[in-house]
Structure 1
Amino acid sequence: MKALFMITGRGMGGDAVMGLNIAQILSSRGFECEFALDRTAPGILFKKRNIKWHKMLIPQAGGHAATKSSLFKAALKALKATWEGYKLIREVKPDIVVGVIGGGAVIGCLSAKLARVPAVGISNTPTDARICRILNPTIMLPESGFFKIKNMKNVYSSYSPIDPKITMGNHDNALKRMPPSFNEDFPTILFSSGSSLFELMAKAAKKISETDIKANIIVIGHPLKERYEKYLQSPRIINLGYIDWVPDLYSLVDLAVLSDDGVMIHEAIACKLPIIALKGVKYGRYHNMASVFPGAVVESDFNNLEDTLKRALEMKDEMKEKASSYSEKVIKAGERIANIILKVAMGEI
């Protein structure tokens, strides 16, 4: 069988990771998987894995931060994008279309409906949640307002799909990559907003570097704007930039300060790490991930981050134990999603 994934974003962040993780499981079950990204996407993750992709229009409205104006503009582009998606489906001839997040989910479900091909939407924004569940079976991730809602037609809930290999990092390999300033006697705190480094996360690392907290402060991600680099000039900050050895790094981390969304929080939970979810990092979005993983994730505003971090370091053993209680379910999320996609492709849903 063949699956065509339509994925929103730039092909280098969480949306791409989720699509590739699901495809990896489907491939192990005999599926041939092909991918479509927006024609402007650099597709760094796909390039690193030598995966080719189709180019088409996949508009974005801004996710949870969408405005009436951005939604209107995306809606206008959606007409053209749906037609492009329809033509791509006719060319690829998939047995099922998987629309991944935001515009990818909406266009995937719309174009599949037009082409009369089964589809599954992977949803975590208000717009894709509203649209996709009307068209096709839709899997609601924790950021979606429909997560854990029961007995709703076409709606299924799941944690975000991660690659179980994320838990198999090598501590010694990570140590070898650390600069001389790394102190093994100190706890290690990771600051990250995903593949892209947002300004507030860079400011957060700078803020903590100026406190009396004794810790290794590690920052990863490619700055969205070059000027964000100025926040990372402290000798206390280990700025690793965009890396492809995150599993090894996780094995070195004692506590993670992450943006309040998606894949990295799930990866850290799978690795049984305590987490501080820093609110407002990405365009003011708020997903309340602390309610998804109570006890393992605590929230913080930028202004009270120092106090929250000090408390979390004191409680890290208890937080780690709570993270451990969610870990197995998160690791199995990809299999759950793949099972639903398979059943839809087989006409069983």
Structure 2
Amino acid sequence: MRKRIVFTGGGSAGHVILNLALIPHFRKEGWEISYIGSVNGIERDLISKVDGVTYYPIATGKLRRYFDWKNVKDPFKVLKGTYQAYRLLRKLKPSVIFSKGGFVSVPVILAGKLNKVPSIIHESDVTPGLANKLAIPFSTKLCVTFKDTVKHIKESSKVVHTGAIVRDEIFKGSKEKGLKDFKFQQTKPVLLIMGGSLGSKKINEIVRASLQELLGFFQIVHICGKGNIKHSLHQPGYKQVEYLTDELPDVLAMTDIVISRAGSNSIFEFLALKKPMILIPLTKEQSRGDQIINAESFKKEGYAEVLQEGNLTKEGLVNKLEEVLQNKEIYLRNMEQYEGDFSVNPIISLINEVSK
């Protein structure tokens, strides 16, 4: 009988990337693939471009750690989403659910438990996010990137250390194609700037204020987020894009240095491709502090430098970039020492083991 898998996860690109890495394998193996996500989340845009996957939207509420009047009505959205997911799972009858986290995943994992469908959750960061914390008690297994994550999980028997996972297509980029598509020179270094899938107002402002100084050293690809392109700044050597999908492997292939947030998925991709980084993690006011821990971990290993957003200035950014460019070979040597293989195989094996 043909096996069926339901993927879930959303709210940001980081909660979709691993699913995108896994889907081609299960499609090749002949599984029936469905995806349960939010109505208007970024996951819907990303999954809509993937062949062989049926997308089902459900209601979802944002889970906040701070006071907001929306906290009063959002639990009802979660309940509605759980009911919708429950009915979908009864119809789809999946062999297993795989969740990458995010707000939309909680109703799906809970509905899976109610339908007696085994589920696997993946946590990329050292400490689990709020959505995963809520979902773990209803899950079958929890995959983790960092071994230290087990210290933060009460149900430690569920934890499986699978290490960092990187999409195969990330390794298939062409430097020559990237340079040609962006009309860049062969001889000048390329700087890639990523403020997260939704963009970063502070990073965008500082980069644009520093643009003339930066263009003296680099050609720049600036991923600035949806609706954040500043058309008055178009000039040779500076390319603004809202988001990259199919072009990303080619852009990464031509990139020499990356400025980025410190989400686990992205920084491990940069490590796998040996791209020295300047990491600007989300502040504790913007997040639970997981990116700060990720960034400091990479700095300790000699893969990256860290600029806290509160200390981010035009002068500080330019000076840090000069430093990283001058010491590029040191970062590359450190990255060569990393022992992980970035393979999806441990997770694929676990899914096959857990599926009904």
Q: Secondary structure at the match of 1:133?
A: helix
Deviation of 1:169 (Å): 0.9
2:325 match? 313
Structure 2 match to 1:91: 91
- Number of residue pairs aligned between Structure 1 and Structure 2: 334
Distance 1:41 1:100, change over 3 A: same
- Superposed, which structure 2 residues align to 1:298-309 within 5 Å? 298-301=305-308, 302-303=312-313, 304-309=316-321
Q: Please name the residue that 2:61 is paired with.
A: 59
Whether the 8 Å CA contact 2:99–2:120 is kept in 1: the answer is yes
- Distance, in Å, in 1 between the alignment partners of 2:284 and 2:265 is 14
* Match for residue 290 of structure 1 among 289, 295, 298: 295
Paired position in structure 1 for 2:167: 163
Tell whether 2:132 aligns with 1:120.
no
Q: Do the aligned partners of residues 245 and 147 (structure 1) sit closer, same or farther apart at CA in structure 2, a change above 3 Å counting? A: farther
User: 1:231, 1:67 → 2: CA distance?
Assistant: 37
- Percentage of identical aligned residues: 19
* Cα distance, 1:2 vs structure 2: 1.1
TM-score of the pair, normalised by structure 1 = 0.84
Which of 274, 277, 287 aligns to 2:276? It is 274
* Structure 1 residue 275, shift from structure 2 partner: 1.2
- The match for 2:353 is 343
Q: Distance in 1 between matches of 2:100 and 2:169?
A: 21
Matched, 1:152 2:177: no
Aligned-partner residue type, residue 106 of structure 2: V
CA positional deviation for 1:72: 5.7
> Secondary structure of 1:206's match?
helix
Q: In structure 1, what is the equivalent of residue 35 of structure 2?
A: 35
**Structure 1 residue 83, shift from structure 2 partner:** 1.2
Q: How does 1:1-349 map to 2 (within 5 A)?
A: 1-9=3-11, 13-41=13-41, 43-50=44-51, 51-61=53-63, 66-69=65-68, 73-124=73-124, 125-136=128-139, 137-141=141-145, 146=149, 152-179=156-183, 182-211=184-213, 213-221=216-224, 223-226=225-228, 229=230, 232-233=233-234, 237-243=238-244, 244-280=246-282, 284-285=286-287, 286=289, 287=291, 288-293=293-298, 294-301=301-308, 302-303=312-313, 304-326=316-338, 329=340, 331-332=342-343, 334-345=344-355
Partner amino acid, structure 2, of 1:289: N
Q: Secondary structure at the match of 2:321?
A: helix
Which whole-Å CA distance do the structure 1 matches of 2:106 and 2:45 have between them? 23
Residue identity opposite 1:267 in structure 2: E
Q: What is the CA-CA distance between 1:54 and the residue it aligns to? A: 1.1
Contact 1:2 1:31 in 2 (8 A): yes
Contact 2:101 2:132 in 1 (8 A): no
- Partners of 1:115 and 1:178 lie apart in 2 by 49
Deviates more, 1:92-101 or 1:187-196: 187-196
Residues 38 and 55 of structure 1 are in contact (CA less than 8 Å); yes or no, is this contact kept in structure 2? yes
My pick for the range that moved more, 74-83 or 111-120, is: 74-83
CA distance in 1: counterparts of 2:71 and 2:350, whole angstroms: 29
Deviates more, 1:196-205 or 1:269-278: 196-205
**What is the rounded CA distance, in whole Å, between the counterparts of 1:84 and 1:241 in structure 2?**
32
TM-score for the superposition, normalised by structure 2: 0.82
Structure 2 letter corresponding to 1:325: Q
**Deviation of 1:159 (Å):** 4.1
Give the Cα–Cα distance (whole angstroms) in 2 for the partners of residues 9 and 206 of structure 1: 27
1:309 Cα deviation after fit = 1.6
- Secondary structure of 1:83 counterpart: helix
Gaps of 5+ in 1: none
RMSD of the alignment, in Å? 2.9
CA distance in 1, matches of 2:327, 2:232: 28
CA distance in structure 1 between the aligned counterparts of 2:35 and 2:262, rounded to whole angstroms = 27
Indicate the SS of the match to 1:3.
strand
The CA distance in 2 between the partners of 1:229 and 1:281, in whole Å, is 25
Provide, for residues 143-180 of structure 1, a one-character-per-residue CA deviation record: whole Å limited to 9, x for no partner: x983676991212344453212211211111121123x
